[in-house]
Chains A and B, each alone.
Chain A
């Protein structure tokens, strides 16, 4: 391992906290790989050696796990991971077009990083926000109802060093390393930050309120016609 002393000390202390959350130490491996990415920006050989040593595993065992999951990167990742959903629903609602234009605009393809290290583009699978299609994720924050123009603007702003807020999430998109530290289970004090609830999230609730229904007080009725 080539970590300098303060880095290794911090990693070791953090790893102890993570391991302490589980009855069996090996369960700490996934969060520890996130922790490694929060320091190195990818799952580095040093990080693999570190995890192996702390958990009494071989480097091969750690690598086998790291290579199974798409969030673990094998090459240094950009500061901002920009993912365009191209699974069926988003693709058809316009995700394919967003991907094409964004990829042309940024000049890199799937899994590639810009030369300045700012942006890594990725075609992502369904991110559970289909009611906000087409969806883009930047460092795993939601950018809902995107168009090619809005997506390019987000990336341009990020590259210009501006703060960019997601449509649902904290007040700004944090860096890849920052977010990876949160994913290792360390709170960053941004949980209360909010951009307001999106209309699709409230669609059913508002329709029920408009009709004056309160299922908590009185069970909601199913119409006769709808019964099998």
Chain B
């Protein structure tokens, strides 16, 4: 059995876990003191050696990202923390910031010091006001404690940290769209290159990292590279938050070494809900191709999940049992992508619009067999042709579900209705009017 590894989550059950006192008492900010005495290049090397990879979904090596910054030219360079958590299924950064905001603040200070940044930003999605309160307070406490501001702990190093609230746009999780949004514009992705490392915020060299990546930095500095690389698999090092949701007995946050399997996680989570079986699941949010019980033993690391045809993504494990209609699930995700498409590029803007139309009529029993092929053809026209990863992500659940559950799509066409009783999937009792319609159709 793979052991669980609470590190970021270790103090979540402490009294006032979000306060600087609790965090400091538990050893917090000792990594900062250590880092401020360490040469910057050594800090960057340590994060490279740790093998820490971006926890926001793409899995790009964090230390390498820092290393891409051009040599210091005496002008500003920036750290921007991506706290725009909104990939469907993903719910790890919000509890981290709510219960342990200082891990992020300390990580942001160490990272800023390492890359020579004097003004860092945390871009938080706007729809979580209590998280914003906690972050604003944590930053204020850090200033009062001398961890932020001018001449930090007598080192001569200065750092401002601004927490910025967005205003509701999934696309702002895409790093260049986030930068445009932080500059006060519509959050639309930029053409790359130039990459943010060269021309990011205000066209200056910028590092953009996910909350969990940055919050992991203090532990690496404090406990050492060997401790971190002692967890995980060959090329996916360290621990990460695995978020189980849906039809499981104990949904929640399970921090574990990368490479743990869903079978193991389900054991900790008390299994799929009573009397039901696993039907399909997402390994890393709605933008990652779906898996089935066949993948229960796939190690959840970047390489193994990729080799099995999906992506580790944000480790957002959404679990659906046999009562769930896959067409309904995919339709709703697709409506999400349609809603969140920024409109900048045609394949995504038009493609997601039509995909949602087709899925809607299929789910309502008004589709044809040709519609199923049309879905795949439209996905082909989007995948690899959209301006950013949103378009690609929109196709993942469609192509994977048609491959795995084509007969279920066909059943919607042949029966002229959704064959599922939607009330059976809900976590509370109710009578589904739609089920009555279905019975009539079937009778």
**Do the beta carbons of B165 and A131 come within 8 Å of each other?**
no
With A92-B329, A93-B246 as given contacts, are A213 and B5 in contact (CB-CB < 8 Å)? yes
Most buried by B among A34, A69, A132: A69
Bound complex: CA A202 to CA B264 (Å): 17
- A82 at the A/B interface (Cβ < 8 Å)? no
With A30-B184, A142-B130, A215-B3 as given contacts, are A203 and B426 in contact (CB-CB < 8 Å)? no
Bound complex: CA A24 to CA B253 (Å): 38
**Do the beta carbons of A215 and B4 come within 8 Å of each other?**
yes
**Do the beta carbons of A197 and B167 come within 8 Å of each other?**
no
- A160 at the A/B interface (Cβ < 8 Å)? no
Nearest to A64 among chain B residues (CB) is: B186
How many chain B residues touch A (CB < 8 A): the figure is 117
- A216 at the A/B interface (Cβ < 8 Å)? yes
Bound complex: CA A28 to CA B246 (Å): 38
B124: shortest Cβ distance to chain A, in Å? 10
**Do the beta carbons of A220 and B91 come within 8 Å of each other?**
no
Task: Annotate B207-243 by CB proximity to A: 1 below 8 A, 0 otherwise.
Answer: 0000000000001000100011011111000010111
Of the candidates B170, B233, B423, the one whose C-beta lies within 8 Å of that of A222 is B233
- A75 at the A/B interface (Cβ < 8 Å)? no
**Do the beta carbons of A69 and B166 come within 8 Å of each other?**
yes
- A79 at the A/B interface (Cβ < 8 Å)? no
- B295 at the A/B interface (Cβ < 8 Å)? no
Of the candidates A24, A92, A96, A191, the one whose C-beta lies within 8 Å of that of B320 is A92
Bound complex: CA A140 to CA B133 (Å): 12
Bound complex: CA A168 to CA B12 (Å): 14
With A71-B126, A130-B318 as given contacts, are A223 and B2 in contact (CB-CB < 8 Å)? yes
Nearest to B305 among chain A residues (CB) is: A228
25 intermolecular pairs with C-beta atoms under 8 Å apart: A27-B182, A27-B183, A68-B186, A71-B168, A92-B320, A93-B246, A94-B430, A125-B88, A134-B426, A140-B128, A141-B129, A166-B130, A170-B133, A183-B129, A183-B167, A184-B165, A202-B252, A203-B251, A205-B9, A206-B13, A208-B3, A213-B4, A219-B230, A223-B264, A227-B299
Of the candidates B127, B316, B324, B427, the one whose C-beta lies within 8 Å of that of A127 is B127
Most buried by A among B132, B181, B329, B426: B426
Of the candidates B17, B76, B94, B264, the one whose C-beta lies within 8 Å of that of A23 is B76
**Do the beta carbons of A87 and B332 come within 8 Å of each other?**
yes
In the complex, besides A69-B168, A211-B4, A221-B2, 5 extra interface pairs with C-beta distance below 8 angstroms are A64-B186, A93-B246, A168-B98, A220-B2, A222-B3
A183: chain B residues at CB < 8 Å are 126, 129, 132, 165, 167
B169: chain A residues at CB < 8 Å are 68-70
Bound complex: CA A188 to CA B260 (Å): 41
Task: Give residues of chain B (125-158) contacting chain A, Cβ–Cβ below 8 Å.
Answer: 125-130, 132-134, 136-137, 140
**Do the beta carbons of B167 and A72 come within 8 Å of each other?**
yes
A71: chain B residues at CB < 8 Å are 126-127, 166-168
**Do the beta carbons of A228 and B3 come within 8 Å of each other?**
no
With A26-B183, A126-B87 as given contacts, are A204 and B427 in contact (CB-CB < 8 Å)? no
Nearest to B93 among chain A residues (CB) is: A128
- B109 at the A/B interface (Cβ < 8 Å)? no
Task: Give residues of chain B (245-303) contacting chain A, Cβ–Cβ below 8 Å.
Answer: 245-247, 250-257, 259-261, 264, 268-269, 286, 297, 299, 301, 303
Nearest to B181 among chain A residues (CB) is: A30
B270: shortest Cβ distance to chain A, in Å? 9
With A131-B245, A204-B256 as given contacts, are A126 and B12 in contact (CB-CB < 8 Å)? no
Task: Give residues of chain A (143-193) contacting chain B, Cβ–Cβ below 8 Å.
Answer: 145, 147-148, 166, 168-170, 179, 182-185, 187-188, 190-192
A interface residues (Cβ-Cβ under 8 A, vs B): 21-24, 26-31, 33-34, 55, 64-65, 68-72, 86-89, 91-94, 96-97, 124-134, 137, 139-142, 145, 147-148, 166, 168-170, 179, 182-185, 187-188, 190-192, 194, 197, 199-208, 211, 213, 215-216, 219-223, 225-228
**Do the beta carbons of A128 and B140 come within 8 Å of each other?**
no
A108: shortest Cβ distance to chain B, in Å? 20
**Do the beta carbons of A219 and B231 come within 8 Å of each other?**
yes
B231: chain A residues at CB < 8 Å are 215, 219-220, 222
Task: Annotate B323-341 by CB proximity to A: 1 below 8 A, 0 otherwise.
Answer: 0100011101100100110
Bound complex: CA A219 to CA B7 (Å): 10
Bound complex: CA A115 to CA B368 (Å): 43
Most buried by B among A126, A185, A204, A226: A204
A128: shortest Cβ distance to chain B, in Å? 4
B232: chain A residues at CB < 8 Å are 222
Bound complex: CA A27 to CA B128 (Å): 20
Bound complex: CA A208 to CA B426 (Å): 29
A215: chain B residues at CB < 8 Å are 3-7, 10, 231, 239, 255
**Do the beta carbons of A34 and B133 come within 8 Å of each other?**
no
With A70-B169, A97-B423, A226-B259 as given contacts, are A128 and B90 in contact (CB-CB < 8 Å)? yes
A22: chain B residues at CB < 8 Å are 162
A194: chain B residues at CB < 8 Å are 16
**Do the beta carbons of A203 and B133 come within 8 Å of each other?**
no
Of the candidates B10, B181, B251, B333, the one whose C-beta lies within 8 Å of that of A216 is B10
A211: chain B residues at CB < 8 Å are 3-4
- B378 at the A/B interface (Cβ < 8 Å)? no
With A70-B167, A185-B136, A227-B233 as given contacts, are A220 and B257 in contact (CB-CB < 8 Å)? yes
A132: chain B residues at CB < 8 Å are 91, 251
Nearest 6 interchain pairs by C-beta: A203-B252, A219-B230, A200-B252, A29-B184, A204-B254, A215-B5
**Do the beta carbons of A131 and B91 come within 8 Å of each other?**
yes
Bound complex: CA A71 to CA B318 (Å): 26
